[in-house]
Amino acid sequence: MGRIEEKFNELKATGKKALVVYLTAGDPDLEKTREFVLAMDRAGVDICEIGVPFSDPTADGPIIQAASQRALKGGANLRKILKMIKKIRNISQIPIVLFGYYNPIYSYGNRKFAAAARDAGVDGILVVDLPPEESEELKIYTDPLGMDFISLIAPTTSNARIEEIVNNASGFLYYISITGVTGTAKPSVENVKADIKRIRRLSNLPVVVGFGITSPEQAGQIAPLADGVVIGSAIVKMIEKNSSEKNLLQIVSSFAMEVKKAIS
């Protein structure tokens, strides 16, 4: 059993919801990202999504766009990010999902990437622009290594398509709570509720909700509808705003703890 499945089993057994935190790797630098992940683990975050910065992040709003630009300027790349994750694994067993766009992976080489990611201790991958129609070319390398292929479901996704997607997915399903890019709108609880119901009828995989959740209150409203929530842009923004603060780690950790409390 992989770390992701184990984590959801553990949460289910105790009736808890998952808190998933997204961090852009390399913002402000990779050493800081490593420290953030460890701090998130200590703060009770259940799963970390580590964002691989890309020059053309078409599914992201302004906050993550800017973070990606900063990370790239600082010299972050997939090879260094995997190295950083390997270092995390010396200390922490928090489930890690690599989140990003296809081109940096494709450029690394799909076969080589799968082996290196497994070796680094990556548990799952979420490639935003790799829908089921195109994902086979990567999955043939990542599936045999037991890496989860996390798939996105949007409000616009039809039931027929959800079936196709869940057949192709493992680990958990990521429900995009808004028709928009990351961190740009508030999800409507009613819509989320209806869509999760739709998904549940077609799959037994855990469902987490993300793309528009920015506050503990919102997380507290959404979490009961699903198996977990993702906080991304809100954390990335907080890191940017407080980047010169000495107690940056503490600030980010307390926010994570607040969210965790709100969904417990």
Partner 1 sequence: MQKRLPDKHGHFGIFGGRYAAETLMPALIEMEEAYRKAQKDKTFQAEFNYYLKQYAGRETPLYFARRLTEKLGGAKIYLKREDLNHTGSHKLNNTLGQALLAKRMGKNRVIAETGAGQHGVATATVAALFGMACHIFMGKEDIRRQAPNVFRMKILGAEVVPVASGTATLKDAMNEAMRQWVSRVRDTFYVIGTTAGPHPYPMMVRNFQSVIGREAKRQILKGEGRLPDFLIACVGGGSNAMGLFYPFRKDLQVRMIGVEAAGYGLDTGKHAASISAGSIGVLHGNRTYLLQDEYGQVHDAHSIAAGLDYPGVGPEHAYFSQSGRARYVAVKDDEAMEAFRVLSQCEGIIPAMESSHAVAYALKLAPELSKNKIIIINLSGRGDKDAEVVAEKMGV
**Contact call for residue 134 and partner 1 (CB under 8 A):** yes
**Contact call for residue 237 and partner 1 (CB under 8 A):** no
The H or E element that residue 17 is part of is none
Cα Dmax for the chain? 50
**Contact call for residue 152 and partner 1 (CB under 8 A):** yes
**Contact call for residue 159 and partner 1 (CB under 8 A):** no
Query: Is 60 considered catalytic here?
Result: yes
- Chain positions 93 to 112 lying near partner 1, rule: CB under 8 A, are 102-108
Number of chain positions touching partner 1 (CB under 8 A): 44
**Contact call for residue 242 and partner 1 (CB under 8 A):** no
- Contact between 114 and 137 under an 8 Å Cβ cutoff? The reply is no
Task: Pick between residue 2 and residue 155 the one whose CB is nearest to partner 1.
Answer: 155
Query: Is 148 considered catalytic here?
Result: no
Among positions 11, 22, 37, 61, the unique one binding partner 1 when judged by CB under 8 A: 61
Q: Which residues of 77-112 are buried (b: 16+ CB within 10 A; e: fewer)?
A: bbeebbebbebbeeebebbbbbbbbbebbeebebee
Q: Which residues pair with 21 in a beta bridge?
A: 48, 231
Task: Pick between residue 12 and residue 186 the one whose CB is nearest to partner 1.
Answer: 186
- Contact between 20 and 208 under an 8 Å Cβ cutoff? The reply is yes
Q: Which stretch binds partner 1 (CB under 8 A): 7-15, 17-25, 50-58, 114-122?
A: 50-58
**Contact call for residue 128 and partner 1 (CB under 8 A):** yes
How many other CB atoms are there within 10 angstroms of residue 42's CB atom?
14
Name the catalytic one among 27, 49, 123, 195. Answer: 49
**Which residue's structure tokens are 């989860």?**
148
DSSP string over 96-158: EEEEE-HHHHHHH-HHHHHHHHHHHT--EEEETT--HHHHHHHHHHHGGGT-EE-EEE-TT--
- Chain positions 177 to 206 lying near partner 1, rule: CB under 8 A, are 179-181, 184-185
Which residues contribute to the site for partner 1 (CB under 8 A)?
Answer: 54-62, 65, 69, 72, 77-79, 102-108, 128-131, 133-134, 151-158, 161, 165, 176, 179-181, 184-185
By annotation, the residues acting in catalysis are 49, 60
